[in-house]
Amino acid sequence: MKALIVEDEPRAQRVLEHLLQQHFPEIQVIGRTASVKETLGWLSRNKADVIFLDVELQDGNCFDIFAAGPVDAQVVMTTAYDSYAVKAFEVNSVDYLLKPVDEDALRRAVERVKQRQGTPGTDFAQVREAFRQVQGPDEPEGGSVAAAAPREKFLIRLNDRIVPVSVRDIAYFYSEAKNTYIVTRGKRTYVLDDSLDAVEASLPPKQFFRISRSAIVAENVIESVSKLLGGRLRLYLQDSIPSETDLTVSRARADAFLAWLQG
């Protein structure tokens, strides 16, 4: 069985491909793409039996791929949004994997794909209906899934365990050396599979602010703010939460940050 992985997060792409290679040798990954444009180009030249398809991509979302024409393959959606999106996929019988992907969930999805081998590919109408349910009646097709379904928790993989971390308990996120980290109010630090851009898109905007290219901070942990030279702002956090990265608001974001902080 030939597979295409459509995923714009390199780490998530590597994790999924490793799981497939380790546990499903009958599945051969023959392609990897990260955008709508790249995927459409690949599909015009190649054929896969199954596509593991990320919902949000670099230049749009997977809805744009289906809108361009029929996809002659079984499709398994992968998504970081574990609320309305998942419910919509379930209601419409669209296979999905919740990030971070684990072996048991992947095994269930692969078994369903095998059962459907030789049948028509994923029904475009089902996928479109799933998106409409996620977005709500007032959202245009192709709109942001993240806006409709802010995350309530992150699932952190620690060896053979998965630890749920509630958004309410998160002090800030930061990126460093191509990794993304969560720091909690309880002074715990975890590594995430998602990029900071993907994290930002999934968070409730009233509760979190992207202060720079490398950090996102929760409103309820900010104790005070001081002005620095050049129009930048320095943040001080409550409860002696450790500052494992530079929590400085960039000059370009300073005015927007103060407006957000004021509410």
105: CATH: 3.40.50.2300
Domain end point (choices 96, 120, 148): 148
185 and 236, same domain (yes or no): yes
160 pLDDT more than 80: no
Orientation of helix 84-91 relative to helix 124-135, angle to 10°: 150
169 and 141, same domain (yes or no): no
Average pLDDT over residues 206-235: 91
Domain end point (choices 148, 165, 198): 148
169 pLDDT more than 70: yes
Average pLDDT, the chain: 81
76 and 9, same domain (yes or no): yes
Report residue 241's pLDDT band, with 50, 70 and 90 as the boundaries. Answer: confident
Q: Rounded to whole angstroms, how far apart are CA atoms 195 and 198?
A: 5
pLDDT at 117: 78
Could you tell me the two tokens for 197?
């851009």
Which ranges of 46-152 does DSSP label H, i.e. alpha helix? Answer: 62-67, 84-91, 103-115, 124-135, 145-148
142 and 158, same domain (yes or no): no
pLDDT at 5: 95
Alpha carbon 44 to its chain's center: 26
Report residue 38's pLDDT band, with 50, 70 and 90 as the boundaries. Answer: very high
Q: Rounded to whole angstroms, how far apart are CA atoms 200 and 229?
A: 27
100 and 84, same domain (yes or no): yes
List % helix, strand, coil for the chain (3-state, nearest 5): 35, 30, 35
37 pLDDT more than 60: yes
| 179 closest CA partner among 168, 188, 171, 190 | 190
pLDDT at 89: 61
Alpha carbon 227 to its chain's center: 33
* Strands 2-6 and 50-54, bridge-based pairing: parallel
101 and 203, same domain (yes or no): no
173 and 75, same domain (yes or no): no
111 and 126, same domain (yes or no): yes
163 and 236, same domain (yes or no): yes
40 and 138, same domain (yes or no): yes
81 and 161, same domain (yes or no): no
pLDDT at 93: 53
Which ranges of the chain does DSSP label H, i.e. alpha helix? Answer: 10-23, 36-45, 62-67, 84-91, 103-115, 124-135, 145-148, 196-202, 251-262
Residues 6 or more apart whose CB falls under 8 angstroms from that of 255 comprise none
Could you tell me the two tokens for 30?
């023959």
The string of pLDDT tens digits covering residues 66-85 is: 777 778 888 898 877 555 45
121 and 160, same domain (yes or no): no
27-41, 81-95, 208-222 — which is least confidently predicted? 81-95
Question: Do residues 146 and 131 make contact, with C-beta atoms less than 8 angstroms apart?
Answer: no
**Burial 143-167, CB ≥16 within 10 A → b, else e:** bebbebbbbeebbbbeeeeeeebeb
The string of pLDDT tens digits covering residues 215-227 is: 999 999 999 999 9
pLDDT at 252: 82
The string of pLDDT tens digits covering residues 87-101 is: 556 555 567 887 778
pLDDT at 138: 41
- CATH number of the domain encompassing residue 164: 2.40.50.40
Question: Do residues 53 and 31 make contact, with C-beta atoms less than 8 angstroms apart?
Answer: no
pLDDT at 184: 92
Structural domain count, the chain:
2
The string of pLDDT tens digits covering residues 125-157 is: 566 565 555 454 444 444 444 344 577 888 888
User: Which residue has tokens 């109408």?
Assistant: 125
Cα–Cα distances in angstroms (integers) from residue 51 to residues 21, 45, 222, in the given order: 15, 15, 43
Quote the domain boundaries for residue 92. Answer: 2-148
Domain end point (choices 101, 125, 148): 148
